[in-house]
Amino acid sequence: MVLKYQSGEEILQGDRVLFHGKPATVEIVALAPGDAATSWFAEKYGGGVMILDPAVSGRTFVPAAQIAESYEDLEFVARANAA
């Protein structure tokens, strides 16, 4: 499974994004139940992303199904390694 933003880019850990219009970072991309660090996200929600948004909500987990159902409040800005 590959998680994508509404704009079509693949969601990757470290991406800079806008979350509810505020700057944020993709902290975790949880896809595989076998990954020890993120397995409970994948098992409970079928995967998804953890957004780090210190200005508003702190951390928010967005299940994969919500991203796929036109989650408009998550907008790609840039890759973490982009200058």
Instruction: Give me the helices (H) in 2-51, please.
Output: 39-45
Model confidence over 1-10: pLDDT tens digits? 788 998 889 9
Taking the C-alpha atoms of residue 15 and residue 3, their distance in angstroms, rounded to an integer, is 13
Model confidence over 26-76: pLDDT tens digits? 998 888 666 777 777 777 777 889 999 988 778 998 888 888 776 778 999
pTM above 0.95, yes or no: no
Model confidence over 8-37: pLDDT tens digits? 899 999 999 999 889 999 998 888 666 777
Taking the C-alpha atoms of residue 50 and residue 34, their distance in angstroms, rounded to an integer, is 17
